[in-house]
Amino acid sequence: MTKAEKVSDILATLEKLYPDPPIPLDHKDAYTLLIAVLLSAQCTDVRVNKTTPSLFKLADNPYDMMKLSVDEIREIIKPCGLSPMKSKGIAGLSKILVEQYNGEVPNTFEALESLPAVGHKTASVVMTQWFGVPAFPVDTHIHRLAYRWGLSSGKSVEQTEKDLKRLIPEEKWNKAHLQIIFFGREYCTARGHDWKVCPICMKYMRKELRD
């Protein structure tokens, strides 16, 4: 079986299991999605979704967020971890959005990645999940599974992103990255994983990981 055939089979399995994967982070617009993704760094989506209602009740747009102090933001988002850095990022990017973008979230990678606390993965999520621009955000689930299935060397998330973009048709990027995330949570967990019952690993898990 060629690698292209393997990828096609994996995508078919994911499509059967998750034909319409939802966006895991609760949001109503580009701004609330951006904040939610920023908060999700080293934090579960479940925890973020439990935390953002309290924050968005006070400020669900950059204008209102600017009215909150960094300390006020930090106190609310503490459950998500890394609150000192994240609160400064939220305050800083909100100020920039108001002053430079009329309160709107920009729709280019360059502009998004220039915002405080917004890295490539965060920008990629916003670009693909809100603006519909082809991108392949790589989180820990995707990075782990791509290595397990022999689709990437696993040396870095940057390399994994390049490998998956090369192997998966561009028109499927936006959906496939969500499908892999959900698959990683349900079937292909980091701990307690049994490759013999995993519908993809039982066929494609790297030999060195089986032994």
CA quadruple 6, 9, 14, 16: dihedral, nearest 10: -170
Count other Cβ atoms within 10 Å, centred on residue 34.
26
Which of 45, 60, 139, 163 is the catalytic position? 139
End-to-end, the C-alpha distance of the chain in Å comes to 21
Say which residues have a Cβ less than 8 Å from residue 135's Cβ, sequence separation at least 6: 124, 125, 127, 128, 173, 174, 177
Q: Which two tokens stand for residue 79?
A: 């459950």
121 catalytically annotated:
yes
For 108-166, give the secondary structure using H, E and C. CHHHHHCCCCCCHHHHHHHHHHCCCCCCCCCCHHHHHHHHHCCCCCCCCHHHHHHHHHH
Q: b/e for 44-78, b at 16 or more Cβ within 10 A?
A: ebeebbebbeebbeebbebeebbebeeebbbebbe
Which of 45, 86, 121, 163 is the catalytic position? 121
Place of tokens 């494609």: 204
Active site residues: 121, 139
